[in-house]
Amino acid sequence: MSDALVELDRVRFVYPGGEFALHLEHLELAAGEKVACIGPSGSGKTTLVNLIAGITVPETGRVRVGGDELTKFDEGCRRARRVDRVGLVFQQLELLHYLSALDNILLPFRVSALPLTAAVRHRAHGLAEAMGIGHLLARPPARLSQGERQRVALCRALVTEPELILADEPTGNLDPDTAGVILDLLFAQVERSGAALLMVTHDHAILHRFDRTIDLRTLLERHA
């Protein structure tokens, strides 16, 4: 058995009723490793993120994360594991409009069995300060800029101290300057926490900042 944090082995996934099929022979991510995932649109990058997060399960093959084989878990266990041990950042920010920035950061604790302690609140404030949004925590998302909202989303992904962060084009909607700031903050926090990072991106200019790059064009076998 490998000591990789994430291990996908002979994975096959097909969307119900769809033509797209993903075949992945083998993929590993080590703990603390920062990996970029590139590939053209429709190559299966988001599908790969969803498989590793346990949002979807493959038809065949094995997905192991942190020693747990997700394919053997039921839906409820995968969800419980995800909220506890995986931080997710999406291109669409998906902040809840009726919550303040702070409540959005603390959302994983509101909707799960994770205890919302004073230490957690302190951690949330610390993350927000580090991201430069400490003074904006009372504001709802509608009163934040796009860059500020993405920082809130990053804080939400990091506040549970996950061992794995999956980011699906987190800077896709941002202008280059803001995107650069967000990436700096993400990398700083990932390095501080020691979590592994798998980030889907189209921006080849930032690939040098990752330990490794997965190009789905070469890794995947696509079937029409």
Partner 1 sequence: MRPGLWYLSWRHLRTHWGQTLVLALCYAVVFFIPAASQLLIGRYEEELMRRAEETPLVAGARGNRFDLTLASLYFRQADLEPIPVSEADRLQDEGGALIIPLNVRHTARGVPIIATGPEYYDWRGLHATHGTPPLQLGDVALGARVAERLGLGVGEALFSDQPDLYDISKPPALKMRISGVLGPTGAPDDEVVFVDIKTAWILEGISHAHQDVEEVDDKYVLGRSKEQIVVSPALVAYHEVTPENVATFHYHGDRSLLPLTAVLAIPDSEKSGTILKARVNATKLYQMVVPARVIEDLMSIVFRVKTLFDGLWGVLAGATVAMTALVFWLSVRLRAGEMQTLERIGCRRFTVTGLYVTEFTTILLASALLTLGALGTVSWLLPQWFRLV
Q: Least separation, in Å, of the C-beta of 47 and partner 1?
A: 14
CB of 223 to partner 1, least distance (A): 26
Q: Is 135 in the site for partner 1 (CB under 8 A)?
A: no
CB of 196 to partner 1, least distance (A): 17
State the minimum distance, in angstroms, from the CB of residue 102 to partner 1.
Answer: 12
Asked whether position 13 contacts partner 1 by CB under 8 A, the answer is no
Residue 117: phi and psi, rounded to 5, are -100, 175
Assess 103 for contact with partner 1 (CB under 8 A): yes
- Considering the rule CB under 8 A, would residue 124 count as an interface residue with partner 1? no
Encoded one letter per residue, x for contact with partner 1 by CB under 8 A and - for no contact, window 153-192 reads: ---x------------------------------------
For residues 72 and 75, give the distance between their C-alpha atoms in angstroms, rounded to a whole number. Answer: 10
Q: Any contact of residue 97 with partner 1 (CB under 8 A)?
A: yes
Distance CA 68, CA 212 (A): 23
Shortest Å, Cβ 23 to partner 1: 24
Buried/exposed 141-161: b ≥16 CB within 10 Å, e otherwise: beebeebbbbbbbbbbbbbbe
Distance CA 31, CA 21 (A): 28
Rounded CA-CA distance 23/66 in Å is: 22
State the DSSP code for 47: H
User: Any contact of residue 82 with partner 1 (CB under 8 A)?
Assistant: yes
- Using CB atoms within 10 A of its CB, is residue 44 exposed (0-12), middle (13-18) or buried (19+)? buried
Q: What 3-state DSSP class applies to 22? A: strand
* Residues found near partner 1 in the complex (CB under 8 A): 53, 55, 75-76, 79-84, 86, 88, 90, 92, 94, 96-99, 103, 107-113, 116, 156
